[in-house]
Structure 1
Amino acid sequence: MRSRHPIRRSVIAATVLVLTTGVATAEATPTYREYVALGDSYAAIASVFTVHGTPGCFRSTDNYAGNVAKALGARLDDRSCGSATTAHMTTPQSTPMFGTNPPQFDGLTTSTDLVTVTIGGNDFGFESFIATCGLLAATDPLGNPCERYNNSTGTDKLVAKIDEVAPKIAAVLDGIQARAPRAKIVVVGYLPVLPPTTGCFPLTPMAVGDIAYMHGIQLKLNAMLSAQAAAHHATAVDLTGVRGHDVCQLPWNRWVEPVLPAAPTTPFHPNQSGQRGAANLVLAALASTSHPM
């Protein structure tokens, strides 16, 4: 990036440090006391054995928010919930296990000084995107049927959908700032599910030619989240730089699980290692940027 973005360059440098060392140093991290975590399943779940809170949200104590709060010594109010959309920031969410998660913004107060948020994937339709591409693979396993399907009208439907989600992310960030004006806001993106080019059938039941396309769509989603963060003076942790931890890696190197998980989490979602990795990247970003107050 150009010289007018020194904060972003420092975040990138800290990200490289974490990715190469595997640990984050919080020596220079400002003090945070009241931390609220918002988001969907990528924020909520780590291990199914540590799930707590609203039934059906699958909110784990060892998700990235739990790790960040422990490192900072902050009080955590984790409102994240699987299947959440941007609408559930301000409206209740019914879960598959007959639970009701209150509006996630209910956790925000004027004393909140740190907010992390991972949202937008369900507005975009991330799970249906993966499912559709998986089904289309059967029609042309060596080709790119998903890419052709989404570009059948001459305009990529998925790119257009990402553009449609952007104003919703903007509204979420405005809503956080209105309710928690003192808070440092960190927008955390989505860990890469697929490798950049080559898949690993049957762990990734996608057509050979669609792997790079699907990976690219996820990067565009993360880029949109980062752009909205920048436009609203929030910090972005887009996770785009994460490599070698996708579903095709050996079980001990994976941060995201494949169709048949080897770790106690759900398919195509972060495991405990992935949530620790995301937490380290959040901590690195906090250490590289200043507190708004």
Structure 2
Amino acid sequence: MRTSRGDHTTHTDFHAPARRDRTAPHTRPRTRPRTRPGTRRGTRLLTTLGALTLALAMTLAITPSASATGWQPRFGHYVALGDSYTSGPLVPLPKPTAPLGCARSTTNYPTILAAQTHVGSFRDVSCGGAATGHMTEPQRTPLGTNPPQLDALRPGTDLVTLGIGGNDEGVFGDLVGICPGLRDENPSGSPCRDHFTEAGTDTLAEAVARTGERVGAVLDEIAAASPRATVLVVGYPRITPAPGTGVTCPDVLPFADGDLAWADDIETALNDELRTASENHGASFVDMYPASYGHDACAGLQAWIQGKDTNPLVAMSYHPNAAGMYGVATEIRRTLSAGN
């Protein structure tokens, strides 16, 4: 996902067609969290995430290989494709694989999934800032070039996860790069939505509506390269609080109140495009919205998404942290189990 158009450093991803029911059973609105450096709560947050990261790292380290146990894995060759919501920039610990500009982490969801499901072999070619075009074209980063991600596929590949779409046409970069700066104009309104509305048309919603077709084309390429593969398209988890909860946290997620709901509409529309592409091109969709209810950037110690401030010990701004990566891996496993 990214923070500005044309910037190929690690960034994020993400009209509004008919909205699906995105609300969970009624819960009491959460109190706005306030985590400040030096406070006991801030210390507890780092301690909690640090412990989780250590536990995940130990899980990966002690998981026995298929060859060591004689157990035959369900999947022989797993390939992970995607953008920074897959690669996990700054989620401890980084994976020293080329190119370094892709910012892959050893606790991103593909690595967790590969360890938990005991796949025979595993390749993670995800890269921060990737768009659908980088599935078939090289991606240049400040620290090297990532080959076309689909080059990692082979005829015997039998598991593929794809997390892509938010960087297409700079949608996510526009959201996180422009909306926070407009909040002061109208904190209770929707100045960012107004900024991207031209002649009554929501330009970001229109951009999202064009993304599904490109994702569908990528899925066709995957099917041609690896015809036996189980393919899962991974949706984006919630960044903003669920509409109707009344939750805001301008010190963490500095969007105007109306723009929080609008940003949720944009992300929901993107996920709907990914779902439709999956259904039309023979893939399964991993819906992260229900699973991430109550884990948005405003959720304090329960957050799966980092807020506006990058923390080199936790995650890049507006990106999943270690808990979020574990949550995505869990939901993928649930989807795989349901398909049995």
Identify the TM-score tier after normalising by the shorter chain: 0.7 to 0.9
Q: RMSD in angstroms over aligned alpha carbons?
A: 1.6
C-alpha displacement at 1:146, in angstroms?
A: 1.4
The answer on whether the counterparts of 1:118 and 1:189 sit within 8 Å (CA) in structure 2 is: yes
Q: Provide the residue aligned with 1:116 in structure 2.
A: 161
Whether 2:240 is the aligned partner of 1:191: answer: no
2:93 corresponds to which residue? Answer: 49
TM-score by length of 2: 0.73
Which residue of structure 1 aligns with residue 145 of structure 2? 100
Distance 2:218 2:118 in 1: 26
Farther off after superposition, 225-234 or 123-132: 123-132
Greater alpha carbon shift after TM alignment, 139-148 vs 54-63: 139-148
Shift of 1:261: 4.5
Name the counterpart of 2:204: 158
What is residue 4 of structure 1 aligned with on the other side? Answer: none
Unaligned runs of 5+ in 1: 1-15, 17-29
Shift of residue 223 of structure 1? 1.1
Q: What CA distance in whole angstroms lies between the structure 2 residues aligned with 1:214 and 1:91?
A: 29
2:254 is aligned with 1:208: no
Cα offset, 1:48, TM superposition: 4.3
| Contact 1:196 1:216 survives alignment (8 Å) | no
Instruction: Measure, in 2, the Cα distance between the counterparts of 1:148 and 1:199.
Output: 20
Query: Which segments of 5 or more consecutive residues in structure 2 lack a partner in the other structure?
Result: 1-24, 26-72
Is 1:139 matched with 2:185? yes
* 2:81 match: secondary structure: strand
**Which residue in the other structure is 1:11 paired with?**
none
Partners of 1:189 and 1:40 lie apart in 2 by 12
Of residues 119, 136, 152, the one that matches 1:90 is 136
Q: Secondary structure at the match of 2:185?
A: coil
Matched residue of 1:240: which SS?
A: helix
| Code of the aligned partner of 1:268 | Y
Code of the residue aligned with 2:126 in structure 1: it is S
Equivalent position of 2:11 in the other structure: none
Q: Secondary structure at the match of 1:117?
A: strand
Q: Which amino acid aligns with 1:144?
A: S
Alignment partner, residue 40 of structure 1:
83
Query: C-alpha separation between the residues in 2 aligned to 1:96 and 1:189?
Result: 27
Asked if structure 2 preserves the Cα contact closer than 8 Å seen for 1:59 and 1:81, the reply is yes
Please tell me the residue identity of whatever aligns with 1:289.
G
Q: C-alpha displacement at 1:33, in angstroms?
A: 1.3
Moved more, 73-82 or 124-133: 124-133
Question: Which residue of the partner structure matches residue 80 of structure 1?
Answer: 126
Q: Decide whether the 8 Å contact of 2:93 with 2:106 is kept in 1.
A: no
What's the secondary structure of 1:37's corresponding residue?
strand
Counterparts of 2:273 and 2:287 in 1: how far apart (Å)? 9
1:161 alignment partner, SS class: helix
Is 1:253 matched with 2:302? yes
The match for 1:12 is none
CA distance in 1: counterparts of 2:150 and 2:282, whole angstroms: 19
Query: What amino acid does structure 2 have at the position aligned with 1:71?
Result: Q
- How many aligned residue pairs are there? 260
1:59 aligned counterpart, secondary structure: coil
State the distance in 2 between where 1:124 and 1:204 align. 23
Distance in 1 (alpha carbons) for counterparts of 2:159 and 2:169: 26
**Which shows bigger deviation, 257-266 or 160-169?**
257-266
Q: TM-score when scaled to structure 1?
A: 0.85
TM-fit CA distance, 1:150:
2.5
Give the Cα–Cα distance (whole angstroms) in 2 for the partners of residues 66 and 33 of structure 1.
Answer: 15
Q: CA deviation at 1:139?
A: 1.7
Matched, 1:235 2:284: yes
Show the 5 A alignment for 1:20-39. 31-39=74-82
Indicate the residue corresponding to 2:273 in structure 1: 224
Query: Does the residue aligned with 1:116 lie in a helix, a strand or coil?
Result: strand
Name 1:22's counterpart in structure 2. none
- Pick one of 86, 105, 112 that aligns with 1:67: 112
Could you list the runs of 4 or more consecutive aligned residues of structure 1 that deviate by over 6 angstroms after TM superposition? none
Mapped contact 1:49–1:264 kept (Cα < 8 A): no
The aligned amino acid for 1:95 is T
**8 A Cα contact 2:209 2:269, kept in partner:** no
Cα distance in 1, alignment partners of residues 113 and 94 from structure 2: 16
- Corresponding residue SS for 1:51: coil
**1:76-127 Cα distance to aligned partner (Å, 9 max, x none):** 1001000011111111111122x11111011100000000000111104212
Q: Contact 1:92 / 1:102 at 8 angstroms: preserved in 2?
A: yes
